[in-house]
Structure 1
Amino acid sequence: MEEADLWGGLFVSVIAWWRARQLQDRQTEARQKERRLKLRRARRLRMKKLHQTWKMRDKVCKQNQLHRFRAHDKWMKAATHRFLSGRLQRRAKVWFYPRSSNWWETTAAAFTDEEWLRHFSVSRKTFNYICTALEPQLKRQDTLFRLCIPLQKRVALPIYKLAQHHCDYKTLGNLFAVGAASVCHCLHDFCTAVIQVLKPQLVEAPNDCELVRMADFFYHTYGIPQCIGVVHGMRIPIIRPPHYYSEQPSRDSYLAIVLQAVSDGKGMFWDLNMTSPTWVTDSSALTESWACEDFPIRMQNLCGSDGGLFILGDAGCPSDNWLLKPYTNTSWLTPEQELFNTQIGQAHSVAQYAFERLKGRWRCLNKRNDCTVEIVKDMVETCCVLHNLCEKNEDTFLPEWIVHDEPIVNGTANE
């Protein structure tokens, strides 16, 4: 009985302790919860104050920025007003300079046929044909701002440039009442149009009928059978391009483009080749090497691999089965060989005479050209095409145009 009472008291004590511990845990949890609520309310209060502070700073920043914008706008208005007031007080500037066009519209229009030929190296008939043929490429439309350059002036200006011994862009602009930049554009457009339109008609490889006709002409005129043309060359001095400044040439050499052309018996070119800028001297051969790598292939295809047709060249030309050139060792020649050299020399004079007429009619080829390499090549090609056109139309060639070969010093012939 006592033992049961003892266990009962112990059980009651345990129950009392467990309830006291639960009460203590609930009180501790209530205090922690209240503390968390206080911390959360304090954090919310700090965030609210911080948000109000940021909002106030942003408002102040926007006000300062607005003040700066207003100040800058006020300064810009003042500066613009001062600039415009100064501009209005001065005389208004035009975007082009007025030039007198009396030379072209009055003087050149009153030229006689001979005076026209002396200035432009082509007859009026040939000039009108060029204008008609190149009208789709060169004609321009008037705009609301200014009138365009007329077609005849756009053709006459580059022809005058090519025909004169030395005429810069500024001089041409004063004569034709245009700017120097317009002169440059007209020259480029004219050369491009001539190469695209007239070259396929005037400078082309002969067909079978023309080959027979040319072979008959050389045979009946010079006694050389199966000859269809003569190859010859000339040098066009140019200014040194920037990428050539590092090179150190010899003292008597100058930079030039070598033109090699094949002409028929009448002095008209039917094949044109030009080299890249190269250092040459007055004594260097013009045909010691071919200007284009595909030139021998084209001549081989045209003349045939069995030696049916030939092209004449000088003694410096490379040997080939389609090329006929004179004997070089003149000390041991037979009478037949000497007669052969004489006949070749007479036939070769056709090409020399053609180049004389080319340089005489288009005198820009006689002096150093200061344009870029690409423009120089287009100008040379244009001169060859116009040479064929003038020869085809039988334009008069004045004897005073004959150019005598002179030594060239630093790319310029001595005057």
Structure 2
Amino acid sequence: MEEDDERLRPFVFLMTYMLLKRRRDVNNADAQRRNEIQRRLRQRQYFFQRQRRMMMMMIAGGIRSNARIRTRPWTTVPSTDWWERVVMMEFQPSDWLDKFRMSRETFFYICDKLRSRLTRQDTSFRLALPVEKRVAVALWRLASNVEYRTISALFGVGKSTVCKCVRDMCHSIVALLRTDYLRPPSEPELEESARLFLSQWGFPHCVAAVATLHTAIITPSSNASDYINPAGWLSVLSQVTVNGHGQIWDMCACFPGGIEPAEILQKSSLWTTAAEGGLSPVPPYCFMGRQLNYVILGEPCYPLQSWLLKPYPEKRATRAHPAAPSERQNLFNRRLRRARCVAQEALLRLKARWQCLSKRNDCGLDVVPAMIRACCILHNVCESHGDAFNGEWLAEVAEAESPQPTYAEVDGDPDQSQGEDVRQLFCDYFQQND
């Protein structure tokens, strides 16, 4: 009997092990089945909730569209339909000019130039915005300066997307178009600008006029007092140099509004380049029997230089000019003011076309410099492409803009003797040709 038990014991152990293993496998299979069922239930619940949210958004969008049928007919269609059908297919040339401040041809030219930097890849969750729509969103902001919320509802994108479109396009314009549209002029371009100043404004041997541009901003997070300009409002100050065509070929942006324009000029590359004769051919052309570099016209707040002319003081309350200006000096002042209008008119067109520069700009100071440079480049693009300018935009600027500050006249500079000699040459020229 014991011998039979010994023989059966391995068999019993084997059967016991197999039964335990079978029970463990069954339990593991049950646990895996329960986990799979729960996973599928969670996944189905997620898709049901997502579908419900989409249905609620569609219903809410339909209600908002129906509520605005009587007042804004373009918003009765979905946002994508407004962009793809109304803008891209039904916009007339006047619509492109009014809404985007440029022709349709110029719009697509800019899109092609910026495509390499603005193209985005689709993701698993959403489709990327086309380059054309990204550019349109940003141009709408620059042209109208309306809130991000308004542009978001108009184009059917999020407010953060509008902000990103504006930021990306401004930086892309500066990076890709600056070398073509905002650069120092070549020698033939200088000669062409000098010819225009002589033929249109009667001022010879001049290639440009320099002026200042104040852009209103929100209160900065730090050093807010530095941004209060002489007119009493917060702004950033830019220096703009305009050629005979009314196009901008040099600018410095953006300094606190409380800085003096003369300080900006002396820190700019324009000062170094012009002082070293970089804005004239080698050797310089003769003027009134003397070899003389081309000159630039400036405001009274700038220092007088051999290459930078400004008007004679109008008042006699300065130590350097105790007497009233003579008749020949008054003649010089009239000719200079007339020629300097090219810069003032260019700035008016710039602010009227891109109203983010004429109204208070709500962007942060990390975006404003790139935005101002981008607007100057877009101004040159539109001017060089011959896009029409609507005179009604000027009235909008006059209504919205804060009065530009005025600066006291800088006089009695210790190193202005050469500039005074050059200014006397121009007085002689105007007196001979009056």
Compute the TM-score of the two structures, normalised by the length of structure 1: 0.71
Instruction: State the alpha-carbon separation in 2 of the partners of residues 273 and 204 from structure 1.
Output: 12
SS of equivalent residue, structure 1 residue 229: strand
Instruction: State the alpha-carbon separation in 2 of the partners of residues 206 and 177 from structure 1.
Output: 42
* 1:326 alignment partner in structure 2: 311
**Could you tell me whether the CA contact under 8 Å between 2:209 and 2:298 is conserved in 1?**
yes
Q: Rate the CA distance shift 1:287–1:245 in 2: closer, same or farther, 3 A.
A: closer
1:348-373 Cα shifts (integer Å, max 9, x gaps): 11001000100110011111112111
**Could you tell me whether the CA contact under 8 Å between 2:227 and 2:236 is conserved in 1?**
no
Instruction: State the alpha-carbon separation in 2 of the partners of residues 356 and 249 from structure 1.
Output: 22
Alignment of 1:189-204 (within 5 A): 189-204=168-183
Q: 2:356 aligns with which of 364, 371, 383?
A: 364
* 1:149 alignment partner in structure 2: 129
Q: 1:269 aligns with which of 238, 248, 252?
A: 248
SS of equivalent residue, structure 2 residue 124: coil
* 1:17 alignment partner in structure 2: none
- 1:340 is displaced (CA, Å) by 1.0
* 1:122 alignment partner in structure 2: 102
Q: 1:243 aligns with which of 219, 222, 227?
A: 222
1:298-353 Cα shifts (integer Å, max 9, x gaps): 22232469851111012121222220111113562222212111110110110010
**Could you tell me whether the CA contact under 8 Å between 1:169 and 1:184 is conserved in 2?**
yes
Q: 2:264 aligns with which of 250, 274, 290?
A: 290
Q: Rate the CA distance shift 1:248–1:387 in 2: closer, same or farther, 3 A.
A: closer
Q: Rate the CA distance shift 1:325–1:369 in 2: closer, same or farther, 3 A.
A: same
- 1:257 is displaced (CA, Å) by 0.7
Give, as a single letter, the amino acid of the residue that structure 2 aligns with 1:398.
Answer: N
* 2:11 alignment partner in structure 1: none
* 1:404 alignment partner in structure 2: 398
* 1:108 alignment partner in structure 2: 87
SS of equivalent residue, structure 2 residue 255: coil
RMSD across aligned positions (CA): 3.3
- 1:169 is displaced (CA, Å) by 1.3
Does residue 336 of structure 2 align to residue 344 of structure 1? yes
SS of equivalent residue, structure 1 residue 272: strand
**Could you tell me whether the CA contact under 8 Å between 2:254 and 2:369 is conserved in 1?**
no
**Could you tell me whether the CA contact under 8 Å between 2:228 and 2:257 is conserved in 1?**
no
Instruction: State the alpha-carbon separation in 2 of the partners of residues 258 and 249 from structure 1.
Output: 10
**Could you tell me whether the CA contact under 8 Å between 1:121 and 1:361 is conserved in 2?**
yes
**Could you tell me whether the CA contact under 8 Å between 2:206 and 2:296 is conserved in 1?**
yes
Instruction: State the alpha-carbon separation in 2 of the partners of residues 150 and 212 from structure 1.
Output: 42
Q: Unaligned stretches of 5+ in structure 1? A: 1-76, 281-285
* 2:166 alignment partner in structure 1: 187
Instruction: State the alpha-carbon separation in 1 of the partners of residues 210 and 150 from structure 2.
Output: 36
**Could you tell me whether the CA contact under 8 Å between 1:253 and 1:279 is conserved in 2?**
no
* 2:192 alignment partner in structure 1: 213
Q: 1:376 aligns with which of 368, 377, 402?
A: 368
- 1:291 is displaced (CA, Å) by 5.2
1:146-184 Cα shifts (integer Å, max 9, x gaps): 2110111011110111011x3111111111111111111
Give, as a single letter, the amino acid of the residue that structure 2 aligns with 1:227.
Answer: C
Give, as a single letter, the amino acid of the residue that structure 2 aligns with 1:113.
Answer: P
Instruction: State the alpha-carbon separation in 2 of the partners of residues 231 and 124 from structure 1.
Output: 31
Q: Rate the CA distance shift 1:89–1:192 in 2: closer, same or farther, 3 A.
A: closer
- 1:406 is displaced (CA, Å) by 6.6
- 1:186 is displaced (CA, Å) by 1.1
**Could you tell me whether the CA contact under 8 Å between 1:303 and 1:322 is conserved in 2?**
no
Q: Rate the CA distance shift 1:204–1:244 in 2: closer, same or farther, 3 A.
A: same
Report the structure number with the largest CA radius of gyration. 1
Give, as a single letter, the amino acid of the residue that structure 1 aligns with 2:392.
Answer: E
Alignment of 1:3-18 (within 5 A): none
**Could you tell me whether the CA contact under 8 Å between 1:273 and 1:292 is conserved in 2?**
no
State which drifts further: 288-297 or 254-263: 288-297
Matched residue count: 327
Alignment of 1:160-171 (within 5 A): 160-164=140-144, 166-171=145-150
**Could you tell me whether the CA contact under 8 Å between 1:173 and 1:183 is conserved in 2?**
yes
Same amino acid, percent of matched pairs: 34
Instruction: State the alpha-carbon separation in 1 of the partners of residues 220 and 377 from structure 2.
Output: 26
* 1:92 alignment partner in structure 2: 49
**Could you tell me whether the CA contact under 8 Å between 2:174 and 2:374 is conserved in 1?**
yes
Compute the TM-score of the two structures, normalised by the length of structure 2: 0.68
Q: Unaligned stretches of 5+ in structure 2? A: 1-33, 62-77, 285-290, 317-323, 406-434
State which drifts further: 256-265 or 166-175: 166-175
Give, as a single letter, the amino acid of the residue that structure 2 aligns with 1:131.
Answer: C
* 1:390 alignment partner in structure 2: 382
**Could you tell me whether the CA contact under 8 Å between 2:227 and 2:256 is conserved in 1?**
no
1:219-240 Cα shifts (integer Å, max 9, x gaps): 2333322211000111101112
Give, as a single letter, the amino acid of the residue that structure 1 aligns with 2:158.
Answer: G
Give, as a single letter, the amino acid of the residue that structure 2 aligns with 1:92.
Answer: Q
